[in-house]
Structure 1
Amino acid sequence: MQEVKLGLEALKAFLDAEFPQVAEEFEILSVAPMRLRVALRVSERHLRPGGTVSGPTMFALADVGVYLAVLAMVGPKALAVTTSCSIDFMRKPPADKDLLADVEVLKLGRVLAVGDVRIFARGAEERPVARASLTYSIP
């Protein structure tokens, strides 16, 4: 089994240092080998007309989640980038709940990593609002 190279506190410090423009929106909740849980603090700026969290906001949560899960396994490689993403929006998330992303790294190679994400509204973890698959290129 592979070991975590960047734990919870190290990932938080990395996000604060490398992406201060968005770091306060995300809360890394747990880190384990090939798994991570992260929350997005939903605010009015994340909403679209109709009182729901926007698709780009859910994409950002999935993208940041896989990025952090990959970095947890490979170490601080700020230049890892998304090479592909597929996302399914399944339910309307409520505007008054933070979103949670459960991330699993399905494949971790030398140059590519593939992750799966399930996004839930906090307090309603039995019903995902979105599901995403992302591939990252590792420098």
Structure 2
Amino acid sequence: MAVKMDAEALSAFLVEVFPQVHADFVIEDVQDMALRVRLKVAERHLRPGGTVSGPSMFALADVAVYLAVLAMIGPKALTVTTSCSMDFMRKPRANADLIGRCTLLKLGRSLAVGDVLLFSEGAEAPVARATMTYAIPS
């Protein structure tokens, strides 16, 4: 399957459809069935204890799979999350961006499954892992 939306097209789509959060994310790489996106960590993403909050980490994983699916199927805004399993493994650095590396494991007509590893920028070990299922509108 060929990529239908590159990083520039996906970024423009986020600006249009999600103007409230698009500035938090930078799409760094788009490939066949894979994508890398950055969460630009700011003070609003932190929780007490000096770490990135769980909801911010979930948002990065969710956006990564959403964008990876759209990269392959085109701009279908109503593609939605139907399931998520997330493991928080290490404390992310509060002073570093988070990088989400997504791989689509399945891309069907009505469902897509993606796996995302989250890393603090510059770290080798992942801080979290998420598997998400998306429903694709017909």
What SS class does the counterpart of residue 122 from structure 2 fall into? coil
Corresponding position of 2:45: 46
Paired with 1:57 and 1:14, the residues of 2 have a C-alpha distance of 20
Paired with 1:21 and 1:80, the residues of 2 have a C-alpha distance of 18
Corresponding position of 2:107: 108
Percentage identity across aligned positions?
A: 68
Give yes or no for the alignment of 1:63 onto 2:59: no
Give the TM-score normalised by structure 1. Answer: 0.98
Corresponding position of 1:132: 130
Give the C-alpha shift of residue 64 in structure 1: 0.3
Paired with 1:55 and 1:13, the residues of 2 have a C-alpha distance of 26
Moved over 4 A (4+): none
Give the C-alpha shift of residue 58 in structure 1: 0.3
What SS class does the counterpart of residue 69 from structure 2 fall into? helix
Q: Which runs of 5+ in 2 are unaligned?
A: none
Paired with 1:95 and 1:59, the residues of 2 have a C-alpha distance of 16
1:8-23 alignment to 2 at 5 Å? Answer: 8-23=7-22
- For residues 26-79 of structure 1, give each alpha carbon's deviation from its aligned partner in whole angstroms, at most 9, with x where no partner exists: 000000000000000001101111010011100000000000000000000000
Q: Which runs of 5+ in 1 are unaligned?
A: none
Paired with 2:128 and 2:53, the residues of 1 have a C-alpha distance of 11
What SS class does the counterpart of residue 77 from structure 1 fall into? coil
Paired with 1:128 and 1:73, the residues of 2 have a C-alpha distance of 25
Give the C-alpha shift of residue 8 in structure 1: 1.1
Paired with 1:36 and 1:94, the residues of 2 have a C-alpha distance of 22
Corresponding position of 1:83: 82
Q: Which residue identity lines up with residue 20 of structure 2 in the other structure? A: Q
Q: Give the CA RMSD over aligned residues.
A: 0.4
Corresponding position of 2:24: 25
Paired with 1:97 and 1:27, the residues of 2 have a C-alpha distance of 14
What SS class does the counterpart of residue 20 from structure 2 fall into? coil
What SS class does the counterpart of residue 60 from structure 1 fall into? helix
